[in-house]
Chain A
Amino acid sequence: MTKSKGIFLAVGGAAIATVLLTALLVNIFERKTEAKNVFYRVVEITDDMDDPAIWGKNFPHQYDSYLRTADMRRTKYGGSEAFPHVPTELDPRDTVSQQKLDEDPRLKIMWAGYAFSKDFREERGHAYMLSDQIFTERQNVTKQPGTCLNCHASTYVLYKKLGDGDITKGFEEMNKIPYKEIVHSVNHPVSCIDCHDPSTMSLRVTRPAFIEGIRAFKATQGIKEYDVNKMATRQEMRTFVCGQCHVEYYFKGADKRLTYPWADGLKADQILEYYKKDGHKDWVHAETGASVLKAQHPEFEMFNQGTHARAGVACVDCHMPYERVGAMKITNHHVQSPLLNINKACQTCHNVPEGELKARAETIQDRHMELRNIAFDALVDYIKDLKEFKDIDLTKTPNKKLADARDLQKQAQFLFDFVEAENSSGFHAPQESARVLGLSIEKVREGQKLVAELRRELKTAK
């Protein structure tokens, strides 16, 4: 080896070794630093700031993950694909999600005569909740009230403004104003302020409809004058903040007051019982003339019937699991299907391989979808049966059997829709979903017996 070559190798080797060692040293330093820190208050946040970007300055990790709700990914049965959309003057979106009405045309039959039969797309992440509602075709075929904004926008600051600081008063005002007039008063989809108290960051419920609904439900359990913001535990709040919107609801009376029908309980048949007493109907079915109901998205109600709720698990545990960023433990604000994040969402509790957990969940969903399809076919068959009596006006020619048959459509359809509209493809409470679908099929069976009798009667009458 020549001398110069030796020096070259020694210097080069030492340089490489030094680089690697220094890199390691710096990495160890970084890891040690991570373990020290927590959170820096950069800006003062007040109770009037609904812009999540400002909150994000103090909570950059949470904000980053919140922004990722714009992702479009799907699981076997849920989630959404990005479909290109040519922007028009009426609808400037350049991507939309797939049209569910085309995926399953039976939905159009179930909702005949209602705005949902015109446009019903796969639900996207929270980032799209406002724009997807503003630009849905449903806005053009019907006139919506401001009530819709309760769950599609960050409305807390607007409530305060409309109610002079009283959110319940503001809520009542907002509901009365037509959607197209009030929509310009909101700026963001659901944001930090809707679930967090800016002074302490603790969770809070800001939606009067939930405050009233949960009070009515707690009363059924013998708890009087329940005040959710004072009496709920932290773990309960981690479900209640989601339950502010992911529920069954209706617009009560001329004031279009958003109401959660929980005074008889949270189960589908208890809610149906409530509507029976209340007399509420959503629309008259275009193909059968029956007064029917549209179930919304009762994730909160259905989840409460399942084993995870029983075990004290909250929505946030699976849909916004804790994750480590550096040495901090933060709540992931990228709300999504747990199936897209099995390690953090499921394996915190389930000491089982990822593949096995996914297979378990999909087995539940496969079986659920099979039963759901059986129930859906039964319902659609029944709607076809009732078509032949559509022209009979019960106010002119009263017929108890036909009235009952139409009522059975209402019941069967609501029970089916309750399960169908619930986002989890049966996973939140598999046995409860099956029970409700079974009830729906039972209503159809009873109805078809009446139809057979009606056919005989009308034949002999001719």
Chain B
Amino acid sequence: MSKLNVVFLILFGVVLGLGCYSFIYAKGYSYMSDDPKACVNCHIMNENMDSWIKGTHHHVAKCNDCHLPHNIVGKYAVKALNGFNHSAAFTLQNFPDPIRIREHSLKVVKSSCLSCHQPMVQAMNHGGKNINEETNCLHCHRNVGHVK
């Protein structure tokens, strides 16, 4: 092995080590799971977690059940995208507080409602008064998941 390669490897090792330590320290691995505790890794989510524990959906749905699509590809794609956006926002502190949900995430949540409640609400989605406006479950049922 040439001296140059040794230098490369040592530097690579240092960066890798530092990277791994940061990852573990920040509990990065927990993001692969469905455990709601992963979401309160950043304390901005504390209130949402607290109210979810006391909420009506507590026994049937965790964060990921509502906030991620219900197929394996979509789930991890959105998880990766949201995860990146959330950590960037929390690191840079450039987000509105109270947090506002994005248009895209709102669509995911709405389809999550339907994935469980579709049979019951089938009839409601047809012939709404305003065809430009999709029926939004959360407009009335905003407290079912968590308060904020």
Contact = CB atoms under 8 A, between A and B. Distances in A.
B43 A14 contact: no
Contact of A25 (B4, B14, B21, B142): B21
B4 A7 contact: yes
Interface string A24-36: 1101110100110
A3 B4 contact: yes
Contacts of B7: 7, 10-11
A327 B19 CA distance: 25
A324 interface: yes
A305 B56 CA distance: 34
B15 A18 contact: yes
Interface stretch (B78-86, B92-100, B115-123): B92-100
Contact of A31 (B4, B42, B96): B42
Given A7-B7, A34-B43, A35-B43, A343 B21 contact: no
Contact of B15 (A17, A24, A25, A34): A17
Interface in B97-148: 97-98, 100, 138, 142, 148
A344 B142 CA distance: 18
A323 interface: yes
Contacts of A14: 11-12, 14-15
A323 B22 contact: no
A353 to B, nearest CB: 8
A351 B136 CA distance: 12
Contacts of A323: 97
Contacts of A347: 96, 98, 100
B97 A344 contact: yes
B11 A10 contact: yes
A128 to B, nearest CB: 29
Contact of A28 (B4, B19, B26, B138): B26
B90 A31 contact: yes
B44 interface: yes
B28 to A, nearest CB: 10
B29 interface: no
B45 to A, nearest CB: 11
A344 B98 contact: yes
Contacts of B19: 21
Contact of A21 (B12, B15, B90): B15
Contact of B142 (A10, A35, A343, A351): A351
Interface string B31-42: 000000000001
A230 B50 CA distance: 31
Nearest to B47: A329
A348 interface: yes
Nearest to B138: A351
Contact of A324 (B11, B44, B142): B44
B77 interface: no
Interface in B6-31: 7-8, 11-12, 14-15, 18-19, 21-22, 25-26
B91 interface: yes
Contacts of B138: 351
A22 interface: yes
A343 B96 contact: yes
B31 to A, nearest CB: 14
Nearest to A34: B43
A6 interface: yes
A24 B91 CA distance: 8
B11 A28 contact: no
A343 B43 CA distance: 19
A35 B2 CA distance: 48
B44 A6 contact: no
A295 B98 CA distance: 38
B22 A24 contact: yes
Interface string B48-67: 00000000000000000000
A108 B78 CA distance: 63
9 contacts: A13-B11, A14-B11, A21-B22, A27-B91, A28-B91, A343-B98, A347-B100, A348-B98, A351-B142
Query: What 10 pairs across the A-B complex have the smallest Cβ distances?
Result: A14-B11, A35-B43, A25-B22, A327-B43, A28-B26, A343-B96, A17-B15, A21-B18, A348-B98, A10-B8
Interface of A: 3, 6-7, 10-11, 13-14, 17-18, 21-22, 24-25, 27-29, 31, 34-35, 323-324, 327, 343-344, 347-348, 351, 353
Given A14-B11, A31-B42, A343-B100, 6 more contacts: A11-B7, A13-B11, A18-B18, A31-B91, A324-B97, A343-B98
